[in-house]
Amino acid sequence: MTLNLLLVLFTAGAVFFLATLVAGVLSRAFEEYRERYLAKTITDLSEMFFFVGPQQLVVLTLAVTAIGAALGLLLFGPIAPVLLVLFGLASPTLLTQFYRARRVKLFERQLVDALVGLASAFRAGMTLYQAMDEVAKNANVPLSQEFALAVREVRLGKSQEEALDNLALRVESEDLALVVTAINTAKAVGGNMAEMLDTLSDTIRERFRIEGRIRALTAQGKLQGMIIGVMPLFVWIAFDAVRPDLTRPMMHHWFGYSMVGLVLVMELLGAFLIRRVIAVRV
pLDDT of amino acid 263: 80
pTM of the model: 0.68
Instruction: Tell me which of 45-59, 119-133, 134-148, 250-264 is least confident.
Output: 45-59
- CB atoms closer than 10 angstroms to residue 84: 21
- Taking alpha carbons only, the member of 225, 187, 181, 219 closest to residue 200 is 181
Instruction: Give burial (CB, 10 Å; 0-12/13-18/19+) of 68.
Output: buried
CA 141, 130, 200 angle in degrees (round to 5)?
A: 65
Mean pLDDT of the chain: 76
CB of 147 within 8 A of CB of 134?
Answer: no
Distance CA 75, CA 78 (A): 9
Q: What is the pLDDT of residues 115-147, one digit of tens each?
A: 888 888 888 888 888 888 888 888 888 888 888
